[in-house]
Structure 1
Amino acid sequence: MTPFVAFGYQKVKADKHKLEIDPVAGSVVQDIFKMKLQGMSQDAIANRLNELGVLSPFEYKISSGSHYETGFRQKEQALWSSVTVRRILENEVYIGNLVQGKRTTPNHKVKQSYVKPEDDWIRIEKNHEPLVSERDFEIVQRLLGMDTRTSPDQKQVYLLSGIAVCADCGAPMTRKVSTVAGKKYAYYLCSTNKETKRCSSHRIPEKDLENVVLVMLKQHIQNIMHLKRVLEFIGTVPFQEINVKKLQDRLEKKKMETERCKELRMMLYSDMKEGIVSKEDYVELHAAYGKRLRNAEESIRAIQKEMDNMLEKADASNTWLDYFVKYQDIEVLTRTVIVELIREIRVHDKKNIEIIFDFNDCYQALLTQLPAMGVEVAADPDNNLQVKIKEVV
């Protein structure tokens, strides 16, 4: 209903109440999200867009013939700023959600508006075609909450910025460069130790830490690929999932109940014809069997719907495996890979590194569920999974 839509979208000409992707502005929005995932700060993204001569949202609206006005214009030409970039990165509209009713006024006499509590906002999910995936949007929101800064001569944050933390105090590990005999050596150390000395340094060379992370990541991806192959094999057996099998058993019992009700009604008619039951009893019993039959048929429909939902959810619940599998040939760490697959890297010391991978709860839950499906799972000393299928029911 608003006169101006979010940058990246335009109103459908045939229906002004619907949104469609603006090919030009939409590609800029997608580039902004990509640059953020690659490790660029909001300032660096804004500077890059200005260097390339990309029109800011305000200038783009003006060039499109819009009479859009804003109080943020300070120069003859409105340029990209870190504030503008952040607003785009935080806007749910780019995953297809329409959020309205964020601001209101106390009453019709007061013009000054205020932001309403988020619970009172009107949110319509999957309202229009998204420009970015929910997965990328979620990762970007996580990155926006991190304290990651770039050095003056860098446009991108370091590979492990905001991800590597001290295992003892939880503070971020800070990258530092020392020069010895004319050679520069980069290493990470606990930021608490650097500032107050209240924690040990946990000092570790940058390359050593990155090499360990790469090895552990490759190992985890291999483990996930083993699990994916097992799930694909098990998935060829109908109703292998334990909960679905239980529903299948209930479904069979309800189907038997409906057949039994139909048989009893037929027998009841024969009994009335032969005078075994009176007409009054026949009417009463026929109605009772009919009600029982309808209840059983309704239960069958409910069970079938529950089974469909469970199978659909089971398929969707394992999509996280593919996030790792697509990097099965990884040989070099990149910022994008790290933020996609790793939540946190806890540094205890040079020889003790702990990695919390994304979807770790899903991974652990899957390992717990496999034995009930007839699959033995064990890890060797190097933490490589050994999988053996005992039986298929």
Structure 2
Amino acid sequence: MQRIFRLAVEGHSPYKIGRLLKADCILTPRAYLAEQHQRYLKVVNTKYPYDWGATTVKVILQNKVHLGHMVSHKTTKPSFKRKETVTVPEEEWIEVLHTHEPLIDEETFALAQKVIRVKKRPTKEGKHQIFAGLLKCSTCGQGLSFARGGSSKTAGGKGGRGSFACNQSRTRGKAYCSFHYISYMDIYEIVLADIQRHAWIAREQESTFVEMVATMSQSQQKKQWGTAIKERDKLVRRGSELQTIQRKLYEDNALGKITDEQYVALSRDFTVEQAQLKERLKLLEEQLQQAESKRENTTRFLELVREYTDMKELTKPILNELIDKVVVYDAEKVDGKRIQRIDIYYRFVGLIS
């Protein structure tokens, strides 16, 4: 299991991980249980015991049991009279934390989720674009897609002449979004230099770096914290109002003031709104918790970035470990020169000006 997570953190897709496990003759979970404990004997294909599927790998990577937690109520039966089961929404799962010894730490698990969410299209040489899933358009928020240029042997690598542009603009036209063009070489050199600079400061001027990040975080937090608190309070009030409304609807229906059809229609609308409120409140609580742990995150980022002081080139694992996203703005002409803003959001600390 640990190898599967390590391969994911290195940037391999579930499909690629499955191919690597098959090449090393690693038994699939069911084949292992059949061999060791005589289970699933009727369903295991004994001719292909190493035939890992991408879905199997993805399920393993998403399973929180490897963190030491137990998760249940993922499926349910609508009725005891029916055999089929239905999937339960994730927010309704029952999770019990720290029930056993974890196989994977929280950070590795989070990195693996980040990697497998990104759809990867390999080049003809079988390599993956190292910026896949990281570059975002500043205008519409969609990803930037890669286009080849020059030699096919070098277009995807450091020396290539490929480029990135807003995927929406590229596929639907400039009426939907502007191009946000940037060459592979430019974004590569910018990100590399930025990581090297922060790594040097973190090692040589740690106290200055911590103070700088803390000051920036405080100013960002004040605005984010205040906005989140106001929205949370508003949603809580609305949630209470909906409960009152639904009780009143039930009474009106019981007293014959509204028909059954009216009750069902209105109740359905309010139930949908309650579900949306619940989901939004969950996201707000997560934002507030993240803000509270900002100082601790600065320390974690310092520990990470210091390892890359002498880094000479970028790799997919390095980018996944250090960066959440890179926002690319449209280029502008200033005094006859092409100027382009790039915002790099680092893991744990966000944007460092």
The TM-score by the shorter chain falls in which range?
A: 0.5 to 0.7
Bigger Cα displacement from structure 2, 62-71 vs 313-322 = 313-322
Any residues of structure 2 matched to 1:225-374 within 5 Å, and which? Answer: 225=203, 228-229=206-207, 316=296, 318-348=299-329, 349=331, 351-360=340-349
Question: Is 1:42 matched up with 2:14?
Answer: yes
Label 1:76 to 1:212 Cα distance change in 2 as closer, same or farther (>3 A): same
For residues 314 and 179 of structure 1, the distance between their equivalents in structure 2, rounded to whole angstroms, comes to: 44
Could you say if the C-alpha distance between residues 178 and 63 of structure 1 is closer, same or farther in structure 2, counting changes exceeding 3 Å? same
Output the CA distance in 2 between the equivalents of 1:112 and 1:226: 62
Match status 1:124 vs 2:102:
no
1:169 counterpart residue number: 140
Larger radius of gyration: 1
Amino acid of the structure 2 residue aligned with 1:323: L
Query: Which TM-score applies when normalising by structure 2?
Result: 0.63
Q: 1:102 corresponds to which letter in structure 2?
A: K
Query: How many aligned positions are there?
Result: 255
CA distance in 2, matches of 1:126, 1:330: 37
| Change in CA separation of 1:110 and 1:96 when aligned onto 2, cut-off 3 Å | same
In 1: Cα distance, 2:130 partner to 2:92 partner: 39
The letter for the 1-side match of 2:141 is G
- Deviation of 1:94 (Å): 1.1
Q: Distance in 2 between matches of 1:172 and 1:314?
A: 27
Work out whether residues 122 and 129 of structure 2, in 8 Å CA contact, stay in contact via their aligned partners in 1. Answer: yes
Consecutive unaligned residues of structure 2, counting only runs of 5 or more, are 156-160, 212-292, 332-338
CA, structure 1 residues 315+127, in 2 after alignment: closer, same or farther (shift >3 Å)?
farther
Determine which structure has the larger strand proportion and give its number.
1
Q: In the TM superposition, what are the counterparts of 1:75-224 in structure 2 within 5 Å?
A: 76-78=47-49, 79-154=51-126, 156-179=127-150, 185-198=161-174, 199-224=177-202
Identity %: 24
How far does the alpha carbon of each residue in 1:252-288 deviate from its partner, in whole angstroms, 9 at most, with x for none?
xxxxxxxxxxxxxxxxxxxxxxxxxxxxxxxxxxxxx
CA distance in 2, matches of 1:102, 1:175: 37
After TM superposition, the score normalised by the length of structure 1 is 0.57
Which amino acid letter does the alignment assign opposite residue 169 of structure 2?
A: N
Greater CA deviation, 98-107 or 82-91? 98-107
Instruction: Quote how far apart the aligned CAs of 1:314 are.
Output: 9.3
Deviations 1:4-36 (A, max 9, x none): xxxxxxxxxxxxxxxxxxxxxxxxx11111211
- 3-state SS in 1 of match to 2:150: strand
Instruction: Report the RMSD for the aligned CA atoms in angstroms.
Output: 3.2
Q: Deviations over 1:280-334 (max 9, x none)?
A: xxxxxxxxxxxxxxxxxxxxxxxxxxxxxxxxx8985533432222333322211
- Bigger shift: residues 117-126 or 127-136: 117-126
Deviation, 1:53, is 1.2
Quote how far apart the aligned CAs of 1:124 are: 1.9
CA distance in 1, matches of 2:83, 2:66: 30
Structure 2 partner of 1:26: none
